[in-house]
Amino acid sequence: MTFDRRTVIGGLAAGAAALSAPMVMAQGVPRVVVVGGGAGGATAARYIAKGSQGAVSVTLIEPTRRYYTCFFSNLYLGGLREMDSLGHDYGTLAAEYGINVVHDWAVGVDRDTRTVSLASGASIPYDKLILSPGIDFKEGAVPGWDVTAQSAMPHAYKGGTQAQLLKAQVMAMPEGGTFAIVTPPNPYRCPPGPYERVSMVAHTLSEVNPSAKILIVDPKEGYSKQALFEEGWQAHYGGMIERIGPDFGGTNVSVNPAEMTIDIDGQVESVDVCNVIPAQQAGHIVHAAGLTDGDWAPVNAVDLSSKTDPDVHILGDSAAQGDMPKSGFAANSQAKVCANAVLGALTDARVFPARFSNTCWSLIAPEDGVKVGATYEATEEKIASIDSFISQPGEDAETRAQTYQESLGWYAAITTDMFG
């Protein structure tokens, strides 16, 4: 299907006009359509529905009937959480908040007619559109790998069955075998995520296969919480983990899923499990809507509206918004600012100054948790960091245990904030 979209120049001109005039609804009740039912989309839908008290019609488009969070999936790999505990449904959003939950794929956006097209053939109109589809992978990012190879070499970087597959492969490793992980270049979802994954796989292997080895193939010079992870790996998993960075070939990597090998700068390594996390970009629907500038979608910091179209907002991983990392906490924080701005545009709701926060927790070993975070404000150029914090090497066991317990409380709170 071909969609007649605005050009960037036309979109900018329309945006300027929209900012100078009150919104005129196609119908009496304004319509908000949200694509993506994760930390950004579900939160935005809930806050708009709750805040409008029926004055705004909210439709949430999400293909899965049960959503599994990508955050905390590493704890499942480490044997510290059951998969069922990561799954959440949309019943409360529909029953208690009156959200029209549509389980289908959004496949296109016509910004001229303000409609979202679904894989089923249906079309849903909107006055305001919120896109929060998460990430997609860049084609050809790791030579030899594409999504057709994800059964042999899982990415496990979207919630659900991929994590279950990867854990099954880890548990089936031969004694003394090798687990390899190919990490992505910046920017990508959850900067500490691959290294927490290494920690949790190492914890599992230390219990069931202590002579196994872990090989990290990394294109980056450094990574989030590096000193904390390396200190923890030495303390808990000494001798198990090896990292190959760009100085030793980490930028020149290809894989052969059929042979279960990795070619690192011409040196071929046979491995037993290979977790390939490719380079990432905005979700497909954001590209289909013509809202990206390369890999990501530029947005205005004050309300997460697209710099191409003021009636479309992009949240979370897909947005190019400035200093915030791509994380579940960040998407949830952005969703609340966006929801407030959308309610202000569609109703008489008060719009508060945009403020954002983020914390990323990582578990190195049971009861050994670390964190990094910041607070942010909206500027004309971007979402800008105004202060930050990070765990320190050498913290005592009580502090690390408290950090882990804090992360458990956050998971319970954020999933309630998302799904009601």
User: Could you report the per-residue pLDDT of 95-111, keeping only the tens digit for each?
Assistant: 999 999 999 999 999 99
403 belongs to a structural domain = no
Contact by Cβ (8 Å): 241, 200: no
204 belongs to a structural domain = yes
Q: Which two tokens stand for residue 411?
A: 């998971």
365 belongs to a structural domain = no
Rounded Cα distance, 363 and 365, in Å = 6
Residues 250, 131, single domain; the answer is no
In this predicted structure, what is the pLDDT of residue 27? 53
Residue where a domain terminates, one of 354, 386, 401: 354
320 belongs to a structural domain = yes
Residue where a domain terminates, one of 230, 249, 276: 276
368 belongs to a structural domain = no
Q: What is the mean pLDDT of each run of 10 residues along the chain (420 residues)?
A: 31 31 57 98 98 97 97 98 98 98 98 98 98 97 97 96 98 98 98 98 98 98 98 97 96 98 98 98 98 98 98 98 98 98 96 97 98 98 98 98 98 98
In this predicted structure, what is the pLDDT of residue 57? 98
Residues 166, 108, single domain; the answer is no
Residue where a domain terminates, one of 304, 330, 354: 354
Residues 128, 87, single domain; the answer is yes
The total number of structural domains that make up the chain: 2
Residues 153, 267, single domain; the answer is yes
Residues 267, 297, single domain; the answer is no
Residues 113, 165, single domain; the answer is no
Burial string for 222-257 (b: 16+ CB within 10 Å, else e) reads ebbbeebbebbbeebbeebbebbbeeebbeebebbb
The DSSP annotation for 153-192 comes to S----SSSHHHHHHHHHHHTPPTT-EEEEEPPPSS-BSTT
Residues 227, 328, single domain; the answer is no
Q: What is the CATH number of the domain that holds 218?
A: 3.50.50.60
30 alpha carbon, distance to own chain's centre: 29
Residues 193, 259, single domain; the answer is yes
Contact by Cβ (8 Å): 46, 332: no
364 belongs to a structural domain = no
212 belongs to a structural domain = yes
| Global confidence as pTM | 0.92
Residues 161, 272, single domain; the answer is yes
Backbone angles phi, psi at 115, to 5 degrees: -135, 150
Residues 249, 291, single domain; the answer is no
Residues 157, 259, single domain; the answer is yes
Range of the domain at 94: 8-136+280-354
In this predicted structure, what is the pLDDT of residue 28? 83
386 belongs to a structural domain = no
Residues 148, 95, single domain; the answer is no
Contact by Cβ (8 Å): 260, 152: yes
